[in-house]
Amino acid sequence: MGKILEIYRSSENCPIRTVLDRIGDKWSILVILILGEEETMRFNELQKSMNDISQKMLTVTLRKLESDGLVHRRIFPEIPPRVEYNLTERGISLLPHIHSLSDWATKNIDGIRRSRAKSGN
Partner DNA sequence: CTGAATCCTTTAGGATACTG
Partner DNA sequence: CAGTATCCTAAAGGATTCAG
Question: Where along the sequence are the contacts to DNA (CB under 7 A)?
Answer: 25-27, 42-45, 52-57, 59-60, 62-63, 73, 80-83
Shortest distance, position 49 Cβ to DNA, whole Å: 12
- For residue 84, state whether it binds a second copy (rule: CB under 8 A): no
Among 109, 102, 117, 119, smallest CA distance to 36 is for: 102
Residues in the chain: 121
Cβ nearer to DNA, comparing 3 with 121: 121
Q: How far apart are CA 75 and CA 1, in angstroms?
A: 49
From residue 91 to residue 110, the character string flagging contacts with a second copy as x (rule: CB under 8 A) and all else as - is --xx--xx-xxx-xxx-xx-
Q: Which is it for the CA torsion 23, 26, 28, 32, positive or negative?
A: positive
